[in-house]
Amino acid sequence: MYYIVESNKSFDQASADLESAVKRLGFGVLHIHDLGTTLRSKGITFDNQCKVFEVCNPGQAARVLSTDMRLNMALPCRISVFTDKGRTKIGLIKPLEMLSALSQDATLVQVAKEVEAKTIQMVDEAK
């Protein structure tokens, strides 16, 4: 269900490279949640870094929503750059498995396959 790769890059470089790959592959970055900084700002001891990128391709999102509006709760796609035991990692929950758990509609399965291929390509390019 997860696709996670380890990177030899720094957290900051992997984050920048992911953002570039997202844009190059026709998606947009809607928001970046810096969970590590947010937790530390709340006085919580948290030694890892974690940025969650909300990414979206408007055409694909419209196809999903026009088929089943309830799936707005599964959008946008999220790709994370994080550290774990001192190593930088990049990962996502695979869209095909997630959407398949929510719907068996053939149109959605096709959209999920297309989005999954692109998001995995983004991760691999940022690695």
| pLDDT tens series, the chain, 127 aa | 999 999 999 999 999 999 999 999 999 999 999 999 999 999 999 999 999 999 999 999 999 999 999 999 999 999 999 999 999 999 999 999 998 899 889 989 999 999 999 999 999 999 9
Per the confidence metrics, is the pTM higher than 0.75?
yes
Distance, CA of 28 to CA of 47 (rounded, Å): 29
Peptide bond into 58 cis (omega under 30): no
Q: How far is CA 49 from the centre of its chain?
A: 16
CATH class of 2-126: alpha beta
